[in-house]
Chains A and B, each alone.
Chain A
């Protein structure tokens, strides 16, 4: 395996490693926010179902929570764009 890798140019290998890093980085960065947004929306739905009269307030707060949680995933996406060969 290493012999095969060594035969390619160092530049190509660097490009490949960059691509792997970018893909893995975005994938890992998406895990936490995915769980987080799920929690936020799930709890918002259950509280809206319990108290439909407070749905407006809950929805506003839910979008805020989503926005703050999503920022982490978006930073991962920015790193992905920056690293992409």
Chain B
């Protein structure tokens, strides 16, 4: 594709990778899958190393990283949205936060530079897992009738308005939620990757033409890389906190 005389690669080249192992089979492995494997392994290693038998009372190294991560999820996600009874969801939320964070952060790691979550498969799977969890939690804590009543007929609304409110709540709670959760993560990663590619292509083209001209887009590229680190962390945080909000909404119906 030719944009402003630049040889910009078509979008499919930026997000579709050739198979590396098991070519052509259903279990083909490409770069995206390898990044997900790396994210799983890094998350497991951090918590396995941190959770081994302690030699001293003072946390150091990996244990310190894991403890501050858990502390962060506990204080700014669980306690703020669910409350003390949300503690049993801590392992799920913490694992999900670190997994999403590590698969996002490969966006800015030199030599890899691909956010695995810019492919839709894993975000939508995570979102569907979240959908199942908050529905099961809601049915378990309020009963099927109570859960449906509280989520479809929010109290404090005039009777006549239920004609409008109930269909909206039905669609937004049970249909749109998982998709908006997945699309939020996916689209942010796609946008970030496209942004970085655009400035990288621009820098390369200007470097070929005039060496000086590449300075401005390259400075922008460096700035955007910093911004994308922020976005990677923020999206992992937002995915986790929205999960916690949905679970909290199922545990305590709207007052």
Instruction: Spell out A's residues near B (CB within 8 Å).
Output: 56-57, 59-60, 63-64, 66-67, 70-71, 74-75, 77-78, 81, 84
Contacts and interface: CB of A to CB of B under 8 A. Distances in A.
A63 B241 CA distance: 9
Contacts of A75: 183
Contact of A81 (B11, B80, B242): B11
Interface in B129-148: none
B180 interface: yes
Main secondary structure on chain B at its contact with chain A?
Answer: helix
Interface of B: 11, 75-77, 80-81, 180, 183-184, 187-188, 190-191, 234, 237-238, 241-242, 245
A67 B177 CA distance: 12
A64 B234 CA distance: 11
A70 B184 CA distance: 8
B190 A81 contact: yes
Given A56-B80, A77-B191, A81-B11, A63 B183 contact: no
Contacts of A63: 234, 237-238, 241
B173 to A, nearest CB: 13
A40 to B, nearest CB: 13
Ranked nearest first, the 7 interchain pairs of A and B with the lowest CB-CB distance are A74-B187, A60-B80, A67-B238, A71-B180, A77-B187, A74-B183, A78-B187
A56 B76 contact: yes
Contacts of B237: 63
A44 B191 CA distance: 26
B191 A64 contact: no
Nearest to A76: B187
A60 B187 contact: no
A57 B75 CA distance: 10
Contacts of B241: 60, 63-64, 67
Contacts of A70: 184
A74 B76 contact: no
5 contacts: A64-B241, A67-B241, A67-B242, A74-B184, A74-B187
A60 B180 contact: no
Contacts of B80: 56-57, 60
A70 B186 CA distance: 13
A66 B237 CA distance: 12
Contact of B81 (A60, A66, A81): A60
A74 B11 contact: no
